[in-house]
A and B are shown apart, each in its own frame.
Chain A
Amino acid sequence: MSNKKKIVLAEDNSVLSLLLKFRLEKDGYQLFIAVNGKEAIDFIETEDPDLILTDVMMDYVSGLEVISHVRNQLESKTPILVFSSSGQEEMVLKAFNLGANDFMSKPLSPNELSIRVKRMLM
């Protein structure tokens, strides 16, 4: 129906995901919010998004496993941006090795995220 670009956002902090959803919808995207890695994978499989935003540390299935699922199982090239907190540098390196395209460290600036998303979807 709509030709809006689809984004899957996996993040376990509900306020933050709401904030980012608000912001990115304002920018004209369609958002799918997952609270853990498992839900994220479900959304990715059913919605075939244009971009995936995921936190590295989540319950059930970590962000790393999400990336590995997308790149290895689904063999998809959908761009992936990961969020990480301080002290997770090692995980970010692993994320890049698995095929993540970009990363942002928390605390996040929503404006910066908006710009990066725009650039990644160009």
Chain B
Amino acid sequence: MEFNEIIRSIILTFHYFFLFFTIAIVGGYIILAVFSSKETVDYLKKNSFINFKDLIKSPLAPSISIIAPAYNESLNIVENVRSLLSTHYVNYDVIIVNDGSKDDSLEKLIKAYDLEKVEYLINYKVPTKPLRDGVFKSKNPAFDKLIVVDKQNGGKADALNCGINISESKYLACIDVDCLLLEDSLQRMIKPFLEHTDRKVIASGGVIRIANSCKIEDGKLIDINFPDKWIERVQILEYLRAFLLGRMAWARLNGLLVISGAFGIFDKEIAIKVGGYDTKTVGEDMEIIVRMRAYMEEQNIKYKVAYIPDPLCWTEAPDDRKILISQRNRWTRGTIETLKIHKKINFNYKYRVLGLLSFPYWFIFERMAPIVEVVGMLYFLFLVFYQPLNWSFVLGLFLLAYLFSLLFSFVAIFTEEFTYHQYKKKGIGLKLVLTIILEPFLLHPIVLYAAMRGNYDYYFNKKKKWGVMIRKGLSKT
């Protein structure tokens, strides 16, 4: 009898735990949806009558360095650089950091842009791996904004740090070299830094849009299409939900913990003060934001991490399950590492919103959610065997969870339609609806599996290397 009592109380505890977790997640999502819609409306109101043209030619436009690390990107590097050089802004330079590539990237760049080696006095403000072939600049004045640095391989974070040392600008735009930036990206992303006088903006992050199936010519986005492959479609939906709902809401709360590594602008001074990117984690893009935030909180300076929802940065998403899994595996490990490095922030009132809201949210709903989900599934299996179930109840609950997830996807799609409406073509609406309905079955299991793999690799397989992204290249039309 004793034994049964214990089992019973364990079951009850589990019941309540899952009940509260579910309520908390649903409640959290509803709150985020409300905040994001408020922020979206405000953003559109604010920017509906802004003239960005004055900034382009102004002598007061602050200097920005675009830093793009490249590792074995020989396939598209020349075109990608050309696209970066055609950004509509005056006061900027483009620093390509060739991170010990084993291919002919450097030779291609030297040939295409008429580069020559120059002497460059580097101030090592943050530590990085030493240079390999050195610093290159173009002999052709048409490319005077371009700097190419060839260094020994040290990973993405190390390459970004090298770029930070080379840069003489006030702001850093850290991007993935294969991203396609629209011409007005810098103008829009730099605006938050310039418009606040009551607080310091330390970083601004952008939306990442998926460019698979889109038509791109000469480094310009010509036509936006909705891909045919389901694995690409579901990621589009996932990105819309994450960027238009999640991040927008966190921006409202000034609680953004991550700026996508594919496109973000940073205040260089603060980035250097905190020591640049951490080379020991695979989640360097999230880690640096958390560290910069922690620094500002500790210094007691009012600050903000801004967020620009305009579709400015387009990138290729994995179109293969294996690569997708290894990407998500890496993201999971990045999150775990970042949260672990900064665990003193968790539930620490000294860090205000950061310590009491964003950080715990990430810990509970991003870090722990996949684990809770798997435990829940195991628990459910246990129940199936342990006691007769009320199947109508079970089915009802599952449907409830499923329908709620659909509802949030719908909110995201409607936000997209009301704001940017990028998928204009007839017939895409139906495809979007189908994607919403199928996504929980198509993408979620993959993401869950990858997250568990990430946890496993983090604890038991420490030497795990970077996931390799095989690029087909954006230039194909």
Q: Do A and B bind each other?
A: yes
Q: How far is the CB of A107 from chain B (nearest CB, A)?
A: 14
Judge if A105 is at the interface, Cβ distance under 8 Å. Answer: no
Interface string of A64-99 (1 = CB under 8 A from B): 000000000000000000000011100000000000
Partner of B218, one of A60, A86, A88: A60
Point out the residues of chain B lying under 8 angstroms from A60, CB to CB.
218, 220
Q: How far is the CB of B187 from chain A (nearest CB, A)?
A: 14
Q: How far is the CB of B312 from chain A (nearest CB, A)?
A: 16
Judge if B125 is at the interface, Cβ distance under 8 Å. Answer: no
**In the docked arrangement, what's the CA distance between A82 and B218, Å?**
24
In the complex, the answer to whether A87 meets B57 with C-beta atoms within 8 Å is yes
Q: In the complex, how many residue pairs between chain A and chain B have their CB atoms under 8 Å apart? A: 7
Closest to B183 in A: A59
Q: How far is the CB of B303 from chain A (nearest CB, A)?
A: 33
Closest to A64 in B: B142
Point out the residues of chain B lying under 8 angstroms from A86, CB to CB.
57
Q: How far is the CB of A105 from chain B (nearest CB, A)?
A: 13
Q: How far is the CB of B330 from chain A (nearest CB, A)?
A: 37
Closest to A61 in B: B218
**In the docked arrangement, what's the CA distance between A59 and B56, Å?**
15
Among B56, B57, B218, B220, residue most surrounded by chain A Cβ atoms (within 10 Å):
B57
Q: How far is the CB of A62 from chain B (nearest CB, A)?
A: 9
What number of B residues sit within 8 Å (CB to CB) of A?
A: 4
Closest to B142 in A: A94
**In the docked arrangement, what's the CA distance between A87 and B89, Å?**
13
**In the docked arrangement, what's the CA distance between A110 and B57, Å?**
26
**In the docked arrangement, what's the CA distance between A104 and B218, Å?**
29
**In the docked arrangement, what's the CA distance between A86 and B220, Å?**
26
Q: How far is the CB of A37 from chain B (nearest CB, A)?
A: 11
Point out the residues of chain B lying under 8 angstroms from A87, CB to CB.
56-57
Closest to A60 in B: B220
Q: Scan residues 170-210 of chain B and give those whose CB is less than 8 A from a CB of chain A.
A: none
Closest to B222 in A: A60
In the complex, the answer to whether B220 meets A88 with C-beta atoms within 8 Å is no
**In the docked arrangement, what's the CA distance between A87 and B57, Å?**
6
Q: How far is the CB of B86 from chain A (nearest CB, A)?
A: 9
Q: How far is the CB of B477 from chain A (nearest CB, A)?
A: 14
Closest to A89 in B: B57
Point out the residues of chain A lying under 8 angstroms from B57, CB to CB.
86-88
**In the docked arrangement, what's the CA distance between A22 and B56, Å?**
32
**In the docked arrangement, what's the CA distance between A87 and B218, Å?**
27
Q: How far is the CB of B87 from chain A (nearest CB, A)?
A: 13
**In the docked arrangement, what's the CA distance between A60 and B389, Å?**
64
Closest to A57 in B: B88
Among A60, A87, A88, residue most surrounded by chain B Cβ atoms (within 10 Å):
A87
Q: How far is the CB of B181 from chain A (nearest CB, A)?
A: 15
Interface string of A42-67 (1 = CB under 8 A from B): 00000000000000000110000000
Q: How far is the CB of B475 from chain A (nearest CB, A)?
A: 16
Closest to A86 in B: B57
**In the docked arrangement, what's the CA distance between A88 and B57, Å?**
8
**In the docked arrangement, what's the CA distance between A25 and B57, Å?**
34
Q: Scan residues 196-232 of chain B and give those whose CB is less than 8 A from a CB of chain A.
A: 218, 220
Point out the residues of chain A lying under 8 angstroms from B220, CB to CB.
59-60
**In the docked arrangement, what's the CA distance between A59 and B220, Å?**
10
**In the docked arrangement, what's the CA distance between A87 and B58, Å?**
8
Q: How far is the CB of B326 from chain A (nearest CB, A)?
A: 37
Point out the residues of chain A lying under 8 angstroms from B56, CB to CB.
87
Point out the residues of chain B lying under 8 angstroms from A59, CB to CB.
220
**In the docked arrangement, what's the CA distance between A60 and B57, Å?**
19
Q: How far is the CB of B37 from chain A (nearest CB, A)?
A: 33
Q: How far is the CB of A64 from chain B (nearest CB, A)?
A: 10
Q: How far is the CB of B92 from chain A (nearest CB, A)?
A: 15
**In the docked arrangement, what's the CA distance between A77 and B56, Å?**
33
Q: How far is the CB of B144 from chain A (nearest CB, A)?
A: 12
Q: How far is the CB of B464 from chain A (nearest CB, A)?
A: 44
**In the docked arrangement, what's the CA distance between A55 and B236, Å?**
37
**In the docked arrangement, what's the CA distance between A25 and B218, Å?**
35
Q: Scan residues 106-122 of chain A and give those whose CB is less than 8 A from a CB of chain B.
A: none
**In the docked arrangement, what's the CA distance between A88 and B220, Å?**
23
**In the docked arrangement, what's the CA distance between A88 and B56, Å?**
10
Q: List B residues at the A interface (Cβ < 8 Å).
A: 56-57, 218, 220
Q: Which 5 pairs across A and B sit closest by C-beta, in order of nearness? A: A87-B57, A60-B220, A88-B57, A60-B218, A86-B57
7 A-B pairs with CB atoms under 8 Å apart are A59-B220, A60-B218, A60-B220, A86-B57, A87-B56, A87-B57, A88-B57
